[in-house]
Structure 1
Amino acid sequence: MTAQHVLELAVCTVRDKKAALVARNRAMQAVSRYPGFVSWRAVTACEMTDLLADLVEWETLDAAEAAGERVLNDPEFTPYMAAVTRVRLMQHFVTERQI
């Protein structure tokens, strides 16, 4: 049986959406090279212009947690972290069911 991938969901508000989107693209490029990275789906809210969400897929929870530590010291991720004014949700999930 193959282990399930882990989905990391981060929902945050940002101060300057344009700057945050540029910074997020830079962060995405950096994280795409991290061990265990699978994919990153970046979305923006339709109704709340300052709300962004990131759904990042990792091979394992260990890889996700290691990445969480690594981004704290990654200069490529720093501008994105600086653009965030509030983290509303940051959680790891596994798929229970899909249709």
Structure 2
Amino acid sequence: MTTEHVLELAVCTVADKEQALAARRQAMQAVARYPGFVSWRAVTACETADMLADLVEWENLDAAQAAGKRVMTDPEFAPYMAAISSVQLMQHFQTEQQI
């Protein structure tokens, strides 16, 4: 089964994990109101203490890309951006197959 939805995968490292987690909760609340938002799964790495990943589902690539521009100027997202030390991966994906 395939879907038109787009998955956005962002993997990053942070200097202060607790601060980043709090900032991410605020960012999630903001993004949940963006057009085309479907869901956000926030995860932390088991083996790497300073690594976080976000899997955000969008209705389509246009919505994902518009959100990417909007977060750059959204004051509610700014603390999360500031908490990120480096971005390891930021990419959009389409589902090819699912079981």
* TM-score normalised over the length of structure 2: 0.97
Moved >4 Å (runs of 4+): none
Helix, strand or coil at the partner of 1:93: strand
Structure 2, unpaired ranges of 5+: none
Structure 1: stretches of 5+ with no match in the other structure: none
Deviation at 1:69, TM superposition (A): 0.2
CA deviations on 1:46-88 (whole Å, 9 max, x unpaired) are: 0000000000000010000000000000000000000000000
**CA distance in structure 2 between the partners assigned to 1:3 and 1:84 by the alignment:** 31
The aligned residue for residue 42 of structure 1 is 42
**Amino acid in structure 1 at the alignment position of 2:67:** A
Let me know the Cα RMSD of the aligned residues.
Answer: 1.1
CA distance in 1, matches of 2:4, 2:45: 28
**Matched-pair identity in %:** 76
- C-alpha distance in structure 2 between counterparts of 1:15 and 1:71, whole Å: 20
Looking at structure 2, the residues matched to 97 and 35 of structure 1 have their Cα atoms a distance apart, in angstroms, of: 25
State yes or no: 1:75 paired with 2:78: no
